[in-house]
Amino acid sequence: MDTNHAPFGSWPGASWAADTPPALDRHILRARHAAVIGNRWMALIEASELAALAAMPDAASVLKSRRGYLPESPVNQAFARTLRERPEDVGAFGPPIVLASRSPHWEPDRAGGSGLLGLDGVQCFDGFQRLVTMAHLFRELPPGHLDRAVLWVVVVTGKDIDRARELCDESAHHVNLPEPQDNLARCPHLLRVQAEFRREGGYFDPRRGIVSGPHPVGFTPADVFRSLAALSTARRPQLSNQLQTPEGLNALWSDITGPAYRSLVHEDLHEISVQRAVEARRETQTAIARMLKRDSRAHWKLLEYAPELVTWAACRALPLETLHDGSAPEWMDLIRDVLPLETERVAHLLVATYARLRGSDRTFKSTAPGLDLWLRLVDAVMGQV
């Protein structure tokens, strides 16, 4: 990958004669396309060419990168996998690589479009991790493999160099990083449910953020998933316990192809399923709030610190196997007429069992949300629910 003495021609400000000592920060890269706008070049370059920029052991110092290479970084590992398995897709992996050069020079091919891009005094402002990953894989993969990976590169020169580095450093601290909830916008079953809500005049959108346009207040993804967990046919409340916290929701949303997620969201899920589940959970939560107003002392704090347990247990009285069946007309009647009384009955059983199991223990806030306690309470009272 020695590009320091490639044939080039006239390059003002730099000598590329055969007797010129190699410079680690000088390179000539073949680009498939290049365009200049002011003091910035935009070039489309193969990974096999870019690998030369970071092939030396001291690449971080030579290119004046903020960090050395991070081999354990999940982002770097994912980029390496894409290079190995789907090199044609790496162009969509992150923003353009941003370089600086004292005196970039372009020598087009006779056919036009492609050509040679000469860079002198190269620095890397953004994309150093990708460059080193390419350099490592260039030595590992068969010849020609990285020719299939093409990335956009921005080269800044002249008076824009200092400003470009400042902006790249600043932008690294102000990026809207993806969160697990963002995966929900890629779930075909949720998108189908969203469309069904829209056709019925309702509103549900699994995405974070505010979506422009007028719409009524809808269901939040947290409410929907906690409600679906409460009305699942699972025999024990592990998933309801997990989803009571934001961390638990994020863990579920991080793997939308996993069995836990698929137990709630699948091809049978419809708008009516979500509507019933959310309404049922809201009815139990309203009943729990009424009971806490009457008594929130001692073991009744179970209702304050573990309301999802009460909801899950009370919802066992509903015909859960028909949740997704739109032709089952008795659902809303059961939610309105049966569920409030069932919630109170179940709550009394759970609180009494909690008092019997925990005795005089007053660590309600720390013990009530625990899965071990939930399972013991459920095992003790389910025969009476």
Alpha-helical runs (H) found in 295-335 = 301-305, 307-314, 331-333
Domains in the chain: how many in total? 2
Question: Residue 169 has what pLDDT?
Answer: 74
294 and 260 in one domain?
Answer: yes
Question: Residue 307 has what pLDDT?
Answer: 97
Within a domain: residue 18? no
Q: Kindly report, residue by residue over 157-180, the tens digit of the pLDDT.
A: 887 777 787 777 777 665 667 889
Question: Residue 57 has what pLDDT?
Answer: 85
70 and 200 in one domain?
Answer: no
Distance CA 45, CA 151 (A): 6
Q: Kindly report, residue by residue over 233-292, the tens digit of the pLDDT.
A: 999 999 999 999 999 999 999 999 999 999 999 999 999 999 999 999 999 999 999 999
Q: Domain range holding 89?
A: 26-171
User: Of 9, 3, 14, 8, nearest to 53 (Cα)?
Assistant: 3
Residues 168-206: b if buried by 16+ CB within 10 A, e if exposed: beeeeeeeeeeebbebbeebebbeebbebbeeeebebbb
234 and 95 in one domain?
Answer: no
Q: Kindly report, residue by residue over 5-45, the tens digit of the pLDDT.
A: 444 444 554 444 443 444 667 889 999 988 888 888 889 99
Name the β-bridge partners of 29: 117
Place of tokens 């009476």: 384
Structure tokens at 79: 């980029």
Question: Of 171, 190, 218, which closes a domain?
Answer: 171
Question: Residue 209 has what pLDDT?
Answer: 73
Structure tokens at 49: 């060419």
Answer yes or no: is pLDDT of 214 > 70. no
203 and 134 in one domain?
Answer: no
Q: Percent of the chain scored above 90 by pLDDT?
A: 56
Contact 88, 78 (CB under 8 A): no
Structure tokens at 151: 């990335």
Q: How is residue 335 annotated by DSSP?
A: I
Kind of pairing between the strands at 40-46 and 26-37: antiparallel
115 and 264 in one domain?
Answer: no
